[in-house]
Chains A and B, each alone.
Chain A
Amino acid sequence: MGGYQREPKIEYTAAAHLRGATVLTSLARLMAKLRVGIDIIEVDEVAESLGCFGDGYLHRVFSDAELDSADDVSPKDVAARFAAKEAAMKAMGDLDEPLDWRSIEVISTPEGRQLRLTGRAAESAYELGVRRWSISTSVTERYALAVVLAAGES
């Protein structure tokens, strides 16, 4: 007969306390090595840029590898990729050094979009301790949004 079952009694022991403290310490270390960046952009703004500057815009912002990997270069797709680049820059902090947009690549892979840094961007990220990147993008008819996580060594 199915009925109410009592929650198992939690034994608060010294061992449990130590385990909890260890988990919290590990979490704190992990958080200390995480950086986050976010960006949102209007799709129409990108459409205007494509209309105004065309290939000049694409080749100034995206590397050949990015353009080769892209499924398409629609304003929505381009907006999502640009947002990811800007979010990655924000994750690295307020760097006022020459940074080629093409050195922060958003590459399409079978597993989804991935971030790949080259040149000076890669050097800056390494100096900041960033070893791994994770990106997530979302697009509507009006907006493209990207969140980037930069993680240090585990």
Chain B
Amino acid sequence: MTPAPRSIDSRIRDVVQDHGRLSADLMELSENADLYEAGMTSHASVNLMLALENEFDVEFPDELLTRSVFSSIESIKRALLGLHLSDGIRNGGEGST
């Protein structure tokens, strides 16, 4: 039996958990919580960007390389959905638009 696809939110959270270097507990942060306030440094945000690119097989264009894009789970998800993600990724998440 094929396991159910993981949601975009869940995959983003896993990447943030692994690369965000947060001092706060990610599980207790809402989608709109400020990741920088939760302890993420600028350097960690670079790692987060690279890890997200690997996870979702995309490349963030220059216009999305702003502090605010990587400031929350929600803003990251919005940016990813704004990119041309494959149908497989879109179908895997409740965040499909």
Closest to A119 in B: B62
- We find that the number of chain A residues with CB closer than 8 angstroms to chain B is 22
Chain A positions 72 through 103: 1 when the CB is less than 8 Å from some CB of chain B, otherwise 0: 00000000001000100100001011111100
Instruction: For residue B76, give the distance in angstroms from its CB to the closest CB of chain A.
Output: 15
Residue-wise interface mask of B (73-91) relative to A, using a CB-CB cutoff of 8 A (1 in contact, 0 not): 0000000000000000000
Q: Of B1-9, B23-31, B64-72, which stretch is located at the interface?
A: B64-72
Say whether B47 contacts A52, CB under 8 Å.
Answer: yes
Residues in A27-54 with C-beta less than 8 Å from chain B: 39, 41, 45-46, 48-49, 52-53
A126 cross-chain contacts in B, Cβ below 8 A: none
**Chain A nearest CB, measured from B70 CB (Å):** 11
The answer to whether B50 and A100 have CB atoms under 8 Å apart is no
Q: Which of B1-44 contact A (CB under 8 A)?
A: 21, 41-44
Cβ contact of A99, chosen from B43, B49, B51, B65, cutoff 8 A: B65
Establish whether residues B68 and A86, one from each chain, have CB atoms under 8 Å apart when the complex forms: no
